[in-house]
């Protein structure tokens, strides 16, 4: 006699698995309910048989009674079989509906997730592509599914062996979490992302692929940079306020003494020198005052502003910067420029960003100058900032407003200045464009609508 212990190990496993499935079904199907309803059916038929026997067949022959009991057994068995089949069929429908609902629930979560969720097979071929991935990286599912994952990885990262490092980390640890890297958009731009990756297994525990979750970090990094910039400005503001207080009192005393000296002498030479001292004192006061104003935390409240005043304020601030000492700022500002409704600090930030970029672009130029024009153009204000620097290469023009794109040396810039400026102008329903010929200078043209409604 063959027992279960003598069967091969796989058959034993299948036997145990089958028993587990039966027990799970009985648990889900509420075995108590089935037994209770089955007993009711048995009791009903046996009760009817006894009633018929006692009332109608009390004098029946033994043969008749045997046929009656036989018929009762057959009918009860058939009814129980039909009842069991009907119950199993209904529970099967219930399970299928529940499974379909659960699958649809999780499918909607994956499909409509704001994060990019991508699955790969063991060979690294893309097998699924949700809407988040489509929005983040630009490819339609039919364009990218079936393609190798290398298609969304920048070539420089492939050359550095990032894909091999990820695979090693995956099969060594089983997952990768919050790994900051870059992925390639359909238009060729790089997108800064946080990568979380894990293995996909089948029922037997065998690895059949990998799942990737990509979160766009561009906005987060820009916010972090703006927060850090605000914190730096706040620190500078505190320092400037202290400097203004500590320097203001001695300067007031010096200014008073200069005025006394001016009244005590009629010597033209001494008068001229004392006047220069007073002018320098006023300049120091203006520098400190401008520094305090610039470092003050930005207000997001809109108000009617005169763009010309903001330009003069930004230029006046930068003229105190050592980098701008030799720069000739030429202002051609329309006197009939109307006021617009906007946040002054934001326009001031855009102007400072563009002017500093122009100054940096003119390093090594013998006669550095920046020409600023303003004029009214239809229903908008047109502002242009022109420099005589090295210009922008043709291949870089389409990328200058990308976050973190910069041609400056490492440590000289974050690549966020133009990106932030572009975002500010867009929020004002305006536009910012660049005109440049490499080696001949650059002109940024800003259009700001007069009516912001």
Q: What are 139-149's pLDDT values in tens digits?
A: 998 999 999 99
Which helix (H) or strand (E) segment holds residue 121: the answer is strand 116-121
Mean pLDDT lowest among 82-86, 387-391, 407-411? 407-411
Pairwise CA distance, residues 443 & 392, whole Å: 10
Q: How confident is the model at residue 6 (pLDDT cuts 50, 70, 90)?
A: very low
**CATH assignment of 302-453?**
3.30.565.10
What HEC string does 158-182 produce? HHCCHHHHHHHHHHHHCEEEEEEEE
Pairwise CA distance, residues 144 & 116, whole Å: 13
CATH architecture assignment, domain 116-216: 2-Layer Sandwich (3.30)
pTM: 0.46
Region(s) of the chain under CATH 1.10.287: 219-297
Tell me whether strands 207-216 and 175-184 are parallel, antiparallel or unpaired.
unpaired
**224-268 tens-digit pLDDT:** 776 776 676 667 667 767 777 677 778 888 888 888 888 888 888
CA distances from 59 to 52, 53, 65 (A): 12, 9, 10
Question: What are 364's two structure tokens?
Answer: 């090594």
Q: How confident is the model at residue 404 (pLDDT cuts 50, 70, 90)?
A: low
The single residue listed with the structure tokens 């009860």 is: 76
Q: Give residues with Cβ within 8 angstroms of 427, minimum separation 6.
A: none
Question: What are 129's two structure tokens?
Answer: 């592509």
Phi, psi torsion values for 341, nearest 5 degrees? -90, 115
219-297 adopts what CATH topology?
Helix Hairpins (1.10.287)
Task: Identify the bridge partners of residue 125 per DSSP, sorted by sequence position.
Answer: 148
The answer to whether 212 and 144 have CB atoms below 8 angstroms apart is: no
The answer to whether 192 and 182 have CB atoms below 8 angstroms apart is: yes
Region(s) of the chain under CATH 3.30.450.20: 116-216
Pairwise CA distance, residues 359 & 342, whole Å: 26
Tally Cβ neighbours within 10 Å of residue 94: 12
**43-81 tens-digit pLDDT:** 776 777 666 666 666 666 777 767 776 777 777 777 777
């Amino acid at each position: 006699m063959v027992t279960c212990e003598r069967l091969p190990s796989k058959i034993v496993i299948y036997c145990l698995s089958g028993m587990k499935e039966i027990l799970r079904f009985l648990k889900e199907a509420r075995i108590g309910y089935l037994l209770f309803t089955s007993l009711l059916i048995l009791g009903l038929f046996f009760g009817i048989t006894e009633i018929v026997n006692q009332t109608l067949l009390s004098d029946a022959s033994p043969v008749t009674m045997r046929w009656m009991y036989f018929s009762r057994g057959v009918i009860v068995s058939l009814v129980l079989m039909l009842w069991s089949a009907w119950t199993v069929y209904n529970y099967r429908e219930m399970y299928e509906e529940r499974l379909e609902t659960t699958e649809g629930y999780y499918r909607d979560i994956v499909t409509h997730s704001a994060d990019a969720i991508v699955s790969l097979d063991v060979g690294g071929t893309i097998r699924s592509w949700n809407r988040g991935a489509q929005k983040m990286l630009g490819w339609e599912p039919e364009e990218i599914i079936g393609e190798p994952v290398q298609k969304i990885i920048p070539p420089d990262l492939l050359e550095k062996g990032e894909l091999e490092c990820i695979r090693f980390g995956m099969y060594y640890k089983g997952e990768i979490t919050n790994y900051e890297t870059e992925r390639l958009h359909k238009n060729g731009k790089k997108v800064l992302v946080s990568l979380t990756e894990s293995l996909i297994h089948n029922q037997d525990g065998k690895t059949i692929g990998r799942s990737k979750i990509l979160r766009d970090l561009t906005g987060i990094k820009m916010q972090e940079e703006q927060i850090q910039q605000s914190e730096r400005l706040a620190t500078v503001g505190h320092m400037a306020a202290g400097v203004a207080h500590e320097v203001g009192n001695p300067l007031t005393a010096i200014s008073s003494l200069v005025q006394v000296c001016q009244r005590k002498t009629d010597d033209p030479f001494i008068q001229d020198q004392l006047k220069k001292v007073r002018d320098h004192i006023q300049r120091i006061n203006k520098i400190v005052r401008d520094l305090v104003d610039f470092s003050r935390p930005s207000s997001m409240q809109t108000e009617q502003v005169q763009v010309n005043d903001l330009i003069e304020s930004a230029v006046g601030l930068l003229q105190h910067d050592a980098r701008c000492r030799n720069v000739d700022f030429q202002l051609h500002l329309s006197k009939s420029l109307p006021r617009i409704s906007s946040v002054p600090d934001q326009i001031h930030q855009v102007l400072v960003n563009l002017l500093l970029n122009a100054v940096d672009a003119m390093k090594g130029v013998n006669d550095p100058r920046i020409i600023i024009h303003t004029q009214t153009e239809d229903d908008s204000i047109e502002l242009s900032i022109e420099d005589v620097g090295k210009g922008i290469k043709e291949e870089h023009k389409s990328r200058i407003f990308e976050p973190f794109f910069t041609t400056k040396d490492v440590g000289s810039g974050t690549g966020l200045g133009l990106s932030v400026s572009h975002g500010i102008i867009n929020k004002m329903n305006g536009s910012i464009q660049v005109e440049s010929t490499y080696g001949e200078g650059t002109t940024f043209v800003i259009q700001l609508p007069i009516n912001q409604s």
